Chains A and B, each alone.
Chain A
Amino acid sequence: MAALSAANSRAGTPSGTPAKKKGSAGGKVSGTATPSKQRGMDQQQLDISGLNLNSEPAAVIVEEPPPKLSFAREALLQEAKRAIEVSDRTGKKGVSIIVIGHVDAGKSTLMGRLLYDLGRLDEKTKRANERGSTNAGKSSFSWAWGLDGTLEERERGITMDIAMQSLTTPHRQITVLDAPGHKDFIPNMISGASQADCALLVIDSAVGEFESGFERGGQTREHLLLVRSLGVSQVIVAVNKLDQVEWSKARYDEIVGLIKPFLLQSGFHSSKTSFVPVGAYEGVNLLSLSDGTELKAWYSGPTLVDLLDKLEPPARDVDSPLRIPIANVFKGQGQGAAVSGRILSGVVQVGEKLRVLPGDESGIVKSIEVEEENVSWAAAGSNVNIQLTSIDPVNLIVGSVLCPPTDLVPLATSFVARVIVFDIQVPITAGSSIEVYHHSRDVPATTTKLLATLDRSNGKVIKANPRVVAKGASAELQLTLRSTAVSGAQSVVRGIPMEPFSANKDMGRILIRRGGETIAAGIVLEITR
């Protein structure tokens, strides 16, 4: 694909204001973590290739507000950058990964087993899970119980929400987000995907199972398109349950042969995709491949951990204003409340005052936790837990965004987006009832105007004000959040925090769903109201 070849490497993010150097960090950096710098790829190009839109004007770098920066912030930025440089030479790069795939592919089993093999899941817990799952008549889920923690998940043998874990490989510090595969929990999967750098796709190779997951309406395709639309460009494909097909090489090759073209077509560069045969339940080819196993007879390539160890974290936007979309709110220690989420851009430190949008509330950062360790600061790319004080917890809502009081995120009730329409059966009309997904929030909305359909290869307008937008099209749409009142007085719609893609890429991506199906993905061009 022509668009993809443009995604070559170049160091750092585009340069910023002359006063201050725009640095870009590779790994996730924080007070005590061991960050590193790497040659990032040109995200701007990559993201756009994901949408197959080449016409995007060069990145407009948001100017930081007038230099009313306190010395403390400057010092912190310096420290963050120094830490990045140091770890570039010595430390482990941090990267987060979302585990995706059709329901029952073995995602949780794979992660549970991997955590155990890496020593992250202790013997006692493992035994308890074996006992518990056997008693519940679900012994085959004992590994999955390492991640499927709620009563209902265990009872049903289905992951319903994201589980977060961390593990280390020789050269990487990895945050793992185990996604649910079931169609109904795609909102949770999206929330997880928007917190991840890379993806691990798990495939069930059993006869009929691969096929039903990969066909139209299956989640294999939908998940891949979703993560790609959210900016993930590297994917490892683990072909699982090969024990079910007698470790057949032919079956493995068949599956790889079917998935490869789809990955390309979805905007994944072949150099950023890799495949690995595994048996999650038995732990085959996760850390190593022992002699004498049936797989060893025909496979001598990398193990899953070898591949994980090579994931490259994308460039981190440390210099832009702080943005943390809240993915979870819970009771932490002491007063206030704890929130978790990913730092999309900027840095945050203990003692800092943060604004919560939408709303008028602010809170003070009491502590920051990264990979289960307390740190004094953290930077873009980190998945953090933050304890906030001096705030009423009712004002903290999943989907709200934390930002500095001096650099607020705009609130949008109506905006223009450029989208790529997925393989849908019913075209999009003006006035379609849809849901807009932005990080961990989804809101009812309407396609108020179909502004234009665009040529996918060059972005030129094909038709202004089309009557409908059909599958495969690229289009510009005006989207407006919908009031939730059915009858009677129309209630006022509350805006949601988002930014144009040109201002902050991670704050400017949206997904559009309708009737339980993802129908389009896009970027915010302009906030109109």
Chain B
Amino acid sequence: MPSQEGAGDQNPSGGMPAASLHISGPVIRENQYVRMGAYHTLDIEPNRDVRIEKLEGWDSVARSRVEEAIVPGRGAEVAAVVCGEGTAAFCLLSQHMTIVPHRISMSIPRKAAAAGTSQHEKGLGKFYAQIFESFLRHIPYNAPSLRAIVIASPGWIRDAVFDYLSAEALKRGDKPLQKALKEKVLKVHISSAHVHSLVEVLKSPEVSHQLKEAKFAKEGIALDRFFKMLGSDENRAWYGPDHVRLASERGAIGTLLISDDLFRSSDPATRKKYVAMVEAVQSKGGEVIMFSSMHESGQQLNQLTGIAAILTFPLDVEVVEAEEKEEEEERKRREQAEADAES
């Protein structure tokens, strides 16, 4: 059945996304409820059984995605407040996605000789107060599934924010909040206050230690490893579909970093190509890390063409490409010769 994903599958703003999927298409096998050729729409929702079959069966990648998805542990596991002076992004990370339910962007007068510093201090005070309100509203700090609350910033804003939250919780006698702050908060240094620093958060020792087995932490660490390898030995860090395919054909891939986006391609041939590559790497004992595009690390991998590999031994891209070209020409010559011989 040709399927089509409808709109409204997830809702990025406000609380946990309500997932539902519309599938529509013509009926190709009739039964008592639907007629042959009629167009039909199905709604797939949580807690409703559904069976989806595929003529040639589901591939290994799709099956492992489903297995991953049914691991218990619903809801956000980590909350992160990424702050700068006047900016804050409230992020919730669950197994499969990161959402940013709320952002603050306030203009705080900078210190300046002309204006003195009182406007600056006043602005900061307002900013902290807003963070507190937003924190209450958007961070499910009491949820048992929430393992850590990260407050991340360059400079020392995270300390000021944490101190403000704690002082306010104490002042209001909010025991649960006090407890959550004490038990769950990790303060992490990041180099810039943009949301893409979440990758830095996840690979920081404080957090990665706590979340070693969490999938999104693994992704961030793998991406970091790729870039580090690129820095130390360019010939062992390849990216881009063509180059990675070449590396795979030579059995050189130690770790394959691949985005789930590539498996959403509407072209079945493309999907199959990647499934085959994943299986090839695994069969040679290589590790495959599937990145979720719903996380920052996945987004970054997507920008890097969606596919990258750390090789077990160095290979010079240009040499390999030259060899390929030669082989290709050789093959053509042979074909031509065969054709000539036949005629």
Interface residues of A (CB under 8 A from B): 149-153, 156, 160-165, 182, 184-185, 187-188, 327-331, 338, 340, 369, 372, 385, 394, 396-398, 424-427, 429-433, 435, 442, 444, 446, 467-468, 470, 482, 484-489, 513, 515-517
Question: In the complex, which of the residues A338, A394, A429 has the most CB atoms of chain B within 10 Å of its own CB atom?
Answer: A429
A-contacting residues, B1-35, CB 8 Å: 10-13, 17
Partner of A486, one of B154, B156, B243, B294: B294
Beta-carbon contacts under 8 Å, B125-173 to A: 154-156, 160
The reply to whether A484 and B195 form a contact with Cβ atoms under 8 Å apart is yes
Report if A164-B239 is in contact (Cβ < 8 Å); known contacts: A426-B230, A487-B295, A516-B191.
no
Q: Which residues of B contact A328 (CB under 8 A)?
A: 109-110, 112, 115
The total of Cβ contacts below 8 Å across the A-B interface reads 146
Establish whether residues A161 and B114, one from each chain, have CB atoms under 8 Å apart when the complex forms: no
Q: Are B99 and A488 in contact (CB under 8 A)?
A: yes
| Complex contact A163–B111 (CB within 8 A) | yes
Q: Is the CB of B114 within 8 A of A486?
A: no
Q: How many residues of B contact A (CB 8 A)?
A: 57
Q: Which 6 A-B pairs have the closest CB atoms?
A: A488-B12, A516-B191, A431-B303, A330-B109, A426-B231, A431-B304
State the B residues within 8 Å of A (CB).
10-13, 17, 89, 91, 97-100, 103, 107, 109-117, 119-121, 154-156, 160, 191-192, 194-196, 198-200, 227-228, 230-232, 234, 239-240, 243, 293-296, 299-300, 302-305, 317
Q: Are A149 and B110 in contact (CB under 8 A)?
A: no
A-chain residues with CB within 8 Å of residue B11 when the two chains form the complex: 488
Complex Cα distance, B258 from A332, in Å, reads 53
Contact in complex: B111, A433 (CB < 8 Å)? no
Inter-chain contacts of B194 with A (CB < 8 A): 435, 444, 484
Return 8 A-B CB contacts under 8 Å, by A number: A164-B113, A185-B154, A327-B110, A433-B196, A444-B195, A486-B296, A487-B12, A516-B191
Are the CB atoms of B231 and A161 closer together than 8 Å?
no
Neighbouring B residues of A156 by C-beta, 8 Å = 156
- Interchain CB contact under 8 A, A164 and B114: yes
Q: Which residue of A lies closest to B303 (CB)?
A: A431
Measured in the bound complex, the distance between the Cα atoms of B117 and A152 in whole Å is: 11
Residues of B within 8 Å of A151, CB to CB, are 117, 121
B234 lies within 8 A of A487 (CB): no
Instruction: Tell me, in angstroms, the Cα distance from A460 to B263 when the chains sit together.
Output: 40
Q: Of B119, B191, B294, which one neighbours A330 at CB under 8 angstroms?
A: B119
Chain A neighbourhood of B300, CB < 8 A:
431, 433
In the complex, which of the residues A185, A331, A431, A468 contacts B234, with contact meaning CB atoms closer than 8 Å?
Answer: A468
Which residues of the partner chain A approach B115 to less than 8 Å between Cβ atoms?
328, 330-331, 338
Q: In the assembled complex, which residues on chain A have CB atoms less than 8 Å from the CB atom of B198? A: 486
Q: Which residue of A lies closest to B304 (CB)?
A: A431
Most buried by A among B97, B109, B198, B295: B109
Docked CA distance A184–B113 (Å): 22
| A372→B198 CA distance, assembly (Å) | 42
On whether the beta carbons of B113 and A486 are closer than 8 Å, the reply is no
Neighbour of A444 across the interface among B114, B196, B317, CB < 8 A: B196
Q: Is the CB of A329 within 8 A of B114?
A: no
Shortest CB distance A448–B (Å): 8
Alpha-carbon separation in the docked complex, A395 to B54 (Å): 54
Selected contact of A331 from candidates B113, B119, B195, B200, CB within 8 Å: B119
A330-B115, A369-B114, A433-B303 given as contacts; is B100 within 8 A of A184 (CB)?
A: no
Q: A150-B111, A185-B155 are in contact. Are A487 and B304 (CB under 8 A)?
A: no
Nearest CB of A to B225, in Å: 11
How many Å from the CB of B7 to the closest CB on chain A?
A: 10
Given contacts A328-B110, A427-B231, A487-B12, 19 further A-B contacts (CB under 8 A): A149-B117, A150-B111, A150-B121, A152-B160, A156-B156, A164-B112, A184-B155, A188-B110, A330-B110, A338-B115, A385-B114, A425-B231, A433-B300, A484-B100, A486-B91, A486-B195, A487-B10, A487-B293, A487-B294
Say yes or no: B114 contacts A372, CB within 8 Å.
yes
Closest to A393 in B: B107
- Is A487's CB under 8 angstroms from B98's CB? yes
Distance, CA A331 to CA B116, complexed state (A): 11
**For residue B119, which residue of chain A has the nearest CB?**
A330
Shortest distance between the CB of A383 and any CB in chain B (Å): 10
Considering the chains assembled together, what is the distance between the CA atoms of A162 and B155 in angstroms? 15
Is B100 a contact partner of A485 (Cβ separation < 8 A)? yes
Judging by beta carbons under 8 Å apart, are A516 and B121 in contact?
no
Partner of A488, one of B13, B155, B239: B13
Task: Give the docked Cα–Cα distance between A185 and B109 (Å).
Answer: 16
B217 to chain A, nearest CB (A): 16
Query: Quick one: closest B residue to A154, CB to CB?
Result: B117
In the bound assembly, the distance between CA atoms of A426 and B224 in angstroms comes to 10
Distance between A38 CB and nearest chain B CB, rounded to angstroms? 27
